[in-house]
Structure 1
Amino acid sequence: MIIFDLTGYLAHFRKHFSTTSALSYTFPPRTTLCGLVAGILGYNRDEYYKEFSSERCKIALQLMKPVRRLIQVVNYLMTDDEAINYFKRTLRWWGEPAQIRLELITADGRILSEIHYRIFLHHEDGYLMERLDDRLRSKKFYYPPSFGTANNLVTLTYVGNVKAEFFQPKGEIRVSTIIPVSMVKTIEPEKELRIYREELVPADFFENRTLRRMESYIYEESGKPIKVKIDGFAFKCKVDGEEIIGTFM
């Protein structure tokens, strides 16, 4: 299993159901992470959906520090000639910038710091894993990774390539990654944990880029383990001497 960190100052992972106001998920959806990894390897748009389907590629995400939401108003200018010709009779602002509310994700806290996510990835194709490991180690990315939009560039840090054990827990476990709600049977709340829920998050595409699967997730704001009983598979591995238990998105 390959582990790497993603850090950056701003992120925007647009909620697919938002319209005039561009709302953002708290963390990158699985489809966004697939696109990020595919871009590192040099896949073009719409070429990788089958290759990175949930059946072939397992991805988990851990929040390493709390984040907060920030609303900014940005100017969008329509520059596509075909779109301009189509919309100019119905949109009054087609020739001028349109002011759109944009929700951004940034690190929580008074001191300026970076958003920090940790990614765990396993693919059934050993050769693809070798190529990805080599590119992450050497930092030779075919396309630069970003947090959603292209202007929110990411610093990617290679953590390691570790052995992971996949298992089906019979009792309660402490999960550090985000957890699909569909897997959760029971949750045991504990003091000093702040557990949130993110709903309707894209998880898989069909080959024509239409949604194939959506999930809702629970997570602890700073990645602390949540004590749960789940119905499904989990994984465990060691990172810097610490055992991490996680579930896949």
Structure 2
Amino acid sequence: MRMHSFDLVGKQAHFRKYYANNTALSFTLPPRTTMMGIVAAILGRPRDSYYRELAPENLKFGIGLLSPAKKSFHRLNLLKILGDSDFRGQKGRIQTPFELVMPIHPRKEDLIYRIYLAGDQDQLMDEIANQLKVRSNSYNLSLGVANFNAALRNTRLDMKVEERKELEEYISLSSAVLSDDVAALKLDKDKKIRIEEDLTPAAFIDDFDRELAAMHRIVYTTDGSKLCARLKVPHYRIDNAQTQEAFVLLD
């Protein structure tokens, strides 16, 4: 199985939760369905046409938050557009709550997400590698909302990764992990750590059909630290002079 990874960097994010079209809440990490959209934007796939191509059996994802993050609510003054005159705001604006994911110090820091890609289909993995190499995205990359621009950094192609099955050991993970794959967490009582668990959308039934086919319940840290866990499944490790990194895939 071949693996690539890249960092997605931006100032703020909003990954709308699936409860309703107008919910103000945001996931902290991009769900798998959002990561599918990011890869599709890199590949230049039309909207909603890639659900089957990037399904779990064809491409596996992992995700980690490398920078400390916080959430905060803001009010947006939205316009209700029914006609041309409404663009001038003559009928007033509607204040709408909106949850943002941001770095702790937005002026000095960035949000940094690390996305892992793994697959056996050489044609798909080659196309992803070529697009990441030339940095020529067909569509703009964003952190959930179109105007929350994101940049690609630290692209790693065909990584040398070792699969390990250490079910009795605690592993310091750089990525989120499925809750069902965690046997135990190891917490240091003298060290503060922020951990979240969330239920996120993972896959759609078919192309142009946004009905959910699967969900992921995941555990992850939100302060940029590693999650120390004993796992029920194998994990992947990169161990060289530049980095020591352990992660799992969500599929």
Normalised by the shorter chain, which TM-score bucket? 0.7 to 0.9
Structure 1 segment 102-121 matched on structure 2, within 5 A: 102-109=98-105, 111-121=107-117
Alignment partners' CA distance in 2, 1:34 and 1:201: 13
SS at match of 2:129: helix
1:194-230 CA-partner distances (Å, limit 9, x unpaired): 1412322111111111111112222222343322222
Structure 1 segment 110-149 matched on structure 2, within 5 A: 111-149=107-145
Structure 1 segment 68-87 matched on structure 2, within 5 A: 68-79=70-81
Call closer, same or farther: CA 1:179–1:193 in 2, change over 3 Å.
farther
For normalisation by structure 2, the TM-score amounts to 0.86
Bigger shift: residues 102-111 or 179-188: 102-111
Mark the runs of 5 or more structure 2 residues left unpaired by the alignment.
Answer: 84-90
Contact 2:167 2:233 in 1 (8 A): no
* Partner in structure 1 of residue 39 of structure 2: 37
Q: Which amino acid aligns with 1:185?
A: A
* Partner in structure 1 of residue 155 of structure 2: 159
1:86-119 CA-partner distances (Å, limit 9, x unpaired): xxxxxxxxx6543210001110137532111111
Call closer, same or farther: CA 1:128–1:238 in 2, change over 3 Å.
farther
Q: Which amino acid aligns with 2:203?
A: D
Contact 1:195 1:218 in 2 (8 A): no
Alignment partners' CA distance in 1, 2:56 and 2:123: 18
SS at match of 1:31: helix
Contact 2:66 2:174 in 1 (8 A): no
Mark the runs of 5 or more structure 1 residues left unpaired by the alignment.
Answer: 82-94
* Partner in structure 2 of residue 84 of structure 1: none
Alignment partners' CA distance in 2, 1:183 and 1:97: 47
Contact 1:7 1:115 in 2 (8 A): yes
Name the % identity: 29
SS at match of 1:194: coil
* Partner in structure 2 of residue 224 of structure 1: 225
SS at match of 2:246: strand
* Partner in structure 2 of residue 17 of structure 1: 19
Contact 1:137 1:158 in 2 (8 A): no
SS at match of 1:34: helix
The alignment status of 1:201 with 2:176, answered yes or no, reads: no
* Partner in structure 2 of residue 86 of structure 1: none
Contact 2:143 2:149 in 1 (8 A): yes
* Partner in structure 2 of residue 52 of structure 1: 54
Contact 1:177 1:223 in 2 (8 A): no
SS at match of 1:206: strand
1:6-34 CA-partner distances (Å, limit 9, x unpaired): 11111100111156541111111111011
* Partner in structure 2 of residue 170 of structure 1: 167
Q: Which amino acid aligns with 1:109?
A: H
Bigger shift: residues 230-239 or 3-12: 230-239
How many positions carry a matched residue from both structures? 238
For normalisation by structure 1, the TM-score amounts to 0.86
Contact 1:21 1:100 in 2 (8 A): no
RMSD across aligned C-alpha pairs, in angstroms?
Answer: 2.4
